[in-house]
């Protein structure tokens, strides 16, 4: 398996070079991407130059923790001099003048930024069918969606078109596609990773995180991108940890005595039977390894979807107001006046899902509805956070399904947005509470479509989360 860990091992021992690895990755991308559509932009020239520099740094004894490995970056994360579109027509030709903080840290670590992975436009979607550049195919389930919005990042990792990738998670957009594509996806605690230079969807919910093939790979990537950033007012100064080292030292025995909560509200009537069976089997693995399984209540979970879609659309309507065709975004050159320019640029630059969310958010914030909808949703958010605070007084971790179903065929929910929104039902509460959450593979359905196990931990306990996931990986693989 070409995991990030194995590639770094081969680079460290001179079994391969960054130049060779990058060239092989670019060849694989150009062979598979026309079908998968995982990348919007591939930086051939830039990647080759970065690889040569990485080989030189390694020869000079200056190798960083990701020196020479190809990393994909979701296309809502700014990359200096490399097109960043947010998968939209609005920003189809936008070239950022600076790097996002997470990209700066990747470069400082020696990573090769291979290209920009596709996503739902402005990260609004759960299926990656809402990109202006076409849908992304799921390499683990042909003919099916890869999940969203970070579906391009998930598909690139699953198809071995990069060593690992960065995604963003607003309501499950790292964990849900990780589940559908059979990889590991980690949403860190809100504030753990800087959002500076990330195109904003819902600022109080968005979080950048790693997507990789193993828990160790995700831990190493998190080590690089995490940490305080003075340019992000929501950035936390909580110290980072050597998470990869802890994962490497983890054994299934470390699960002994751990209290794992299983919330009743996450095993609902709408869950696919094969998903429930696989997740319950994974929980049984944890119990046989010595973990204590405890039934818990998260009573406000049924209200999470409604609260989330009021809050995220309200924030989106505010964040996307800047795309007016003048300061940012597509310019309607044949418009007669400034008002016409604004109207036409938004009509032509935003897709149907983005328009839908702007309209919903503007309605929720309008006079006469603010208290009834937005303010009430904020109160529900507080109740959901309090549910988790009480739960983590009883348990160390929480285990749930990541998604209620496996990957579904393209177009299955296109005419029913509400059913599409429900695909995030098990991931949304984590974002509302600001918790860290991780999805990792725990089985397949009868069509060999991947199933994900979601683990949640208390705030800033990414180490416990990654260690538990690593222990489960060993149990599963054994």
Instruction: Give pLDDT, residue 347.
Output: 57
Instruction: Give pLDDT, residue 269.
Output: 81
End-to-end CA distance of the chain: 16
Q: Which of 318, 322, 79, 101 is nearest to 231 (CA)?
A: 101
The whole-angstrom separation of Cα 279 and Cα 285 is 10
The whole-angstrom separation of Cα 442 and Cα 354 is 33
Instruction: Give pLDDT, residue 1.
Output: 52
Q: Which pTM value belongs to this model?
A: 0.94
The whole-angstrom separation of Cα 253 and Cα 78 is 42
Q: Give yes or no: 173 in active site.
A: yes
The whole-angstrom separation of Cα 151 and Cα 138 is 8
Q: What is the mean pLDDT of each run of 10 residues along the chain (478 residues)?
A: 92 97 98 98 98 97 97 98 96 96 98 98 94 96 96 98 98 98 98 98 97 98 98 97 98 97 92 97 98 98 94 93 71 50 58 86 82 91 98 98 96 71 89 98 97 98 98 96
Instruction: Give the domain 4-249 fold.
Output: Amidase signature (AS) enzymes (3.90.1300)
Q: Which of 88, 131, 173, 423 is catalytic?
A: 173
Q: Which of 7, 466, 12 is nearest to 241 (CA)?
A: 466
Q: Give yes or no: 131 in active site.
A: no
Q: Where are the domains of the chain?
A: 4-249
Instruction: Give pLDDT, residue 348.
Output: 65
Q: What is the 3-state secondary structure (H, E, C) of 148-200?
A: CCCHHHHHHHHCCCCCEEEEECCCCCCHHHHHHHCCEEEECCCCCECCCCECC
CB atoms within 10 A of CB 368: 7
* Sign of the dihedral defined by the CA atoms of residues 272, 442, 244, 290, in that order: positive
How far CA 413 is from CA of 236, 255, 299, 340, in Å, comes to 38, 39, 28, 34
Instruction: Give pLDDT, residue 338.
Output: 45
Q: Give yes or no: 194 in active site.
A: no
Q: Let me know: does 178 contact 184? Beta carbons within 8 Å.
A: yes
Q: Let me know: does 88 contact 350? Beta carbons within 8 Å.
A: yes
Angle at 213 (CA atoms; ends 432, 289), nearest 5 degrees: 80
- Listed as own residue / partner, the contacts of 373-382 with beta carbons closer than 8 Å and 24 or more positions apart are 373/310, 374/310, 374/311, 374/314, 376/310, 377/306, 377/307, 377/308, 377/310, 377/311, 378/311, 380/300, 380/303, 380/304, 380/306, 380/307, 381/307, 381/311, 381/432, 381/433
Q: Which of 74, 116, 118, 429 is catalytic?
A: 74
Instruction: Give pLDDT, residue 333.
Output: 52
SS3 assignment, position 207: coil
How far CA 108 is from CA of 62, 97, 103, 194, in Å, comes to 11, 18, 9, 15
Q: Which of 17, 118, 127, 149 is catalytic?
A: 149
């Amino acid at each position: 398996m070409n995991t990030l860990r194995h590639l770094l091992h081969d680079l460290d021992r001179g079994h391969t070079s960054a130049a060779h690895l990058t060239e092989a990755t670019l060849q694989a991308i150009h062979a598979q991407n026309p079908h998968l559509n995982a990348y919007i932009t591939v930086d051939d020239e830039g990647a080759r130059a970065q690889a040569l520099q990485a080989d030189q740094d390694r020869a000079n004894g200056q190798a960083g923790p990701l020196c020479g490995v190809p990393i994909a970056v979701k296309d809502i994360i700014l990359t200096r001099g490399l097109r960043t579109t947010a998968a939209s027509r609005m920003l189809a030709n936008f070239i950022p003048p600076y790097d996002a903080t997470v990209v700066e840290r990747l470069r400082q670590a020696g990573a090769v930024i291979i290209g920009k992975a596709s996503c739902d436009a402005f990260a609004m979607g759960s299926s990656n069918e809402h990109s202006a550049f076409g849908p992304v195919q799921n390499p683990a389930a042909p003919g099916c969606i890869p999940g969203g919005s970070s579906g391009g990042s998930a598909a690139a990792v699953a198809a071995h078109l990069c060593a690992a990738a960065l995604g963003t998670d607003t309501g499950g957009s790292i964990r849900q596609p990780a589940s559908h594509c059979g990889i590991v996806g980690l949403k860190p605690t809100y504030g753990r990773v800087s959002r500076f230079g990330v195109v904003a969807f819902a600022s109080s919910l968005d979080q950048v995180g790693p997507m990789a093939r193993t828990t160790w790979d995700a831990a190493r990537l998190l080590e690089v991108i995490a940490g305080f950033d003075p340019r992000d007012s929501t950035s936390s100064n909580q110290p980072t940890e050597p998470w990869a080292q802890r994962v490497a030292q983890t054994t299934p025995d470390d699960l002994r005595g751990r209290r794992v909560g299983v919330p009743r509200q996450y095993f609902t009537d709408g869950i696919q039977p094969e998903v429930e069976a696989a997740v319950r089997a994974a929980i049984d693995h944890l119990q046989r390894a010595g973990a204590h399984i405890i039934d818990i209540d998260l009573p406000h979970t049924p209200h999470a979807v409604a609260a989330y879609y009021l809050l995220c659309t309200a924030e989106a309507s505010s964040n996307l107001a800047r795309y007016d065709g003048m300061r940012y975004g597509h310019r309607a050159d044949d418009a007669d006046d400034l008002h016409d320019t604004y109207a036409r640029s938004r009509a032509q630059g935003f897709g149907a899902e983005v328009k839908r969310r702007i309209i919903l958010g503007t309605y929720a914030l309008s006079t006469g509805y603010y208290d009834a909808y937005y303010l009430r949703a904020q109160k529900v958010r507080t109740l959901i956070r309090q549910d988790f605070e009480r739960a983590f007084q009883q348990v160390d971790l929480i285990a749930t399904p990541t998604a209620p179903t496996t990957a579904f065929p393209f177009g299955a929910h296109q005419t029913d947005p509400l059913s599409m929104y429900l695909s995030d039902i098990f991931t949304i509460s984590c974002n509302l509470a600001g918790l860290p959450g991780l999805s990792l593979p725990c089985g397949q359905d009868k069509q060999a479509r991947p199933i994900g196990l979601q683990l949640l931990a208390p705030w800033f306990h990414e180490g416990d989360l990654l260690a538990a996931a690593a222990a489960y990986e060993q149990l599963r693989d054994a």
